[in-house]
Structure 1
C-alpha cells in the first residue's frame, strides 16, 4: 500500500455521523508478485483482505471484531535495517488478530518492530486510531486525531502533491455525504497525471523515479498500482434496523493499468 486517505470520525467527536471510518487506498507493487483478491481468509476466521501470496501478509484488511489496518512502506534508500527482515504485510494481520491491540502496539514500539524495514501502520476500531511508524530514527506510536488524513511513503499528512489531492477529494466526498460511492476520491486515486518537477519530494531515489512514482495511480509494465480499495465502517442504528458493519470494495489492475476485476463485500461486526 502506497497511498491512503482516511476520515476518522469517532462518536465523541461527530456523534451524528453514520460513518466512523472512511478509507480509500492504492496498493503499488510489482505486477509479478502473486496476489489473491479480497476475500475472507480460511486460516484466519473473521479476517477479510487481499493477500500477498509470496509472504502471506496483506497491505490492508478488516476484521469482524470491528478493526481495520493498512500499511505503507517508508521510502528512504539510506535506511537499511539489519537482516533478517520480515514482511511488513504480516504486521497488518497481527494488528487485526491480536486480542490486546494497545499492548501489541506498545510491544512493536519497544523492540518488535526492529524485525521490519521502514513502515507506516494505521490501525483502528472506529473509536481509536493509531499510527505506528518505523524509520531510521526509531519507532514511534501516536494517536491520530479525528478528521481527514493522508499517508504515503513519508509520515502522516506529509504534503506530497498526490497526497494533498486525494485527501482533499475525500474531504469533499465526506462533506457532501457521498461516502457510499466516493466519486471525487475515486477520481483522485485514479489520476495518472504527474506534478511539476519543482513540486516533487526528494526521497533520494533520483528524479526519474520520483517522476514515475508521483501520480496517485501509477502505470507501468513491471510495477504500478495493483488495487484501489475502499473501506467504510458503518455505525449501527437500532432505530432503523442497521447493524454495525464494514463495506469493502476492491478494484484490481494489471500491467499498463488494465482493469482485472473487482470485489465488493459487506462484513457484519461482532465486538463480543
Structure 2
C-alpha cells in the first residue's frame, strides 16, 4: 500500500521533489525504471498490465498514482490504473484538464498527482475531487490526500526535516526506509483486519509475499535539471538500483 511524499514549490533550489514507495505482491512482475521504447516516458513498468506507478517525460511532465484501500465499496476495474500516469506524461493536456477529464468510472479507486512544472494537481475518483495544490508539502497513501494515517503524518514530518536540512537524496531514501509499525490506536480501519493494518502501517513494508518493491526519489530544479533514482527491493533486501539525470 503505497506512499508518495511531495514538496511543491517549497524549496529555493527545487521546484518539485518526490519521494515514493511502491508496494506490491512480489510475484507480480515489473521492470525497473527505464525510458520506454514504445511510449516517451521514464518510469518503472508493471509487466502484468503494462502501466506504471510513476512517470516522467523529457519535458518534465510528472505523474504518480496510488490505489485506494476501501473494501466497503465494489472493486470492478475496467481499465488498469497504471495507464493513468503514463497517459498524462506522454500527453499534452494541462494537469487541470487531465484530472478533470479522467473517466473516473473506468477505474477502481485511485489517487493521482500530476504536474507539468507549472502546476501540481491531485484528483481521486474515491474522494470526488480535482484540486490544484498550493506551494507546500503533501502526502498520499491509499486514502485521500493528506489523510492522517501514521505513515503519511510521520512521512511528511521527516520529509520536511530532510527538505530543510539540505534536500539530500540519501535523507529522502531514509524517510522511505522507515519500517516502524504504528501503534494500534493510530491505525485506520479499512476493512482488512488489525493484523494486516499493522503490516501495512510502515512507510517501508516487508512480508513474505507483499511489500515495498521500489523506492524512488525525484528532484527537479528550478533551472530545469533533474535527477531521479529508483531502488528495488525483495523481502526487505535491496536487489538493485537505477539512476537518471538530465534537463527538462
Normalising by the smaller structure, the TM-score range is: over 0.9
> CA separation of 1:210/1:84 partners in 2, compared to 1, >3 Å: closer, same or farther?
closer
- CA deviation profile, 1:137-173 (whole Å, cap 9, x unmatched): 6x32111121111111111111111111111111111
Asked if the contact 1:252/1:259 (under 8 Å) is kept, the reply is yes
TM-score by length of 1: 0.87
Instruction: Tell me what 1:239 maps to.
Output: none
TM-score by length of 2: 0.95
* Counterpart selection for 1:41 from 31, 36, 42: 36
Runs of 4+ aligned residues of structure 1 deviating over 3 Å after TM superposition are none
**Count of aligned positions:** 247
Instruction: Tell me what 2:81 maps to.
Output: 88
List gaps (5 residues or longer) in structure 1. 237-243
Taking the aligned partners of 1:186 and 1:64, their CA distance within structure 2 comes to 24
Instruction: Tell me what 1:264 maps to.
Output: 243
Q: Secondary structure at the residue paired with 2:62?
A: strand
Instruction: Tell me what 1:58 maps to.
Output: 52
Q: CA deviation at 1:84?
A: 4.9
> CA separation of 1:191/1:90 partners in 2, compared to 1, >3 Å: closer, same or farther?
same
Written as runs of structure 1 = structure 2, the 5 A alignment for 1:102-113 is: 102-108=96-102, 112-113=103-104
Asked if the contact 1:35/1:51 (under 8 Å) is kept, the reply is yes
Q: Verify: 1:20 aligned to 2:7, yes or no.
A: no
Written as runs of structure 1 = structure 2, the 5 A alignment for 1:42-191 is: 42-45=37-40, 47-81=41-75, 83-101=76-94, 102-108=96-102, 112-135=103-126, 139-177=128-166, 179-183=167-171, 185-191=172-178
* Bigger shift: residues 114-123 or 192-201: 192-201
Instruction: Tell me what 1:195 maps to.
Output: 182
Taking the aligned partners of 1:59 and 1:198, their CA distance within structure 2 comes to 30
Q: Secondary structure at the residue paired with 1:100?
A: coil
Asked if the contact 2:169/2:217 (under 8 Å) is kept, the reply is no
Instruction: Tell me what 2:7 maps to.
Output: 7
* Counterpart selection for 1:247 from 227, 232, 238: 227
Taking the aligned partners of 1:252 and 1:117, their CA distance within structure 2 comes to 26
Taking the aligned partners of 2:77 and 2:206, their CA distance within structure 1 comes to 31
Q: Secondary structure at the residue paired with 2:169?
A: coil
Q: CA deviation at 1:182?
A: 4.2
- CA deviation profile, 1:228-265 (whole Å, cap 9, x unmatched): 001111121xxxxxxx12211000001x2121100110
Across the aligned residues of Structure 1 and Structure 2, the Cα RMSD in angstroms comes to 1.5
Instruction: Tell me what 2:194 maps to.
Output: 207
Q: Verify: 1:32 aligned to 2:27, yes or no.
A: yes
Taking the aligned partners of 2:168 and 2:229, their CA distance within structure 1 comes to 11
List gaps (5 residues or longer) in structure 2. none
> CA separation of 1:54/1:198 partners in 2, compared to 1, >3 Å: closer, same or farther?
same
Taking the aligned partners of 2:146 and 2:210, their CA distance within structure 1 comes to 25
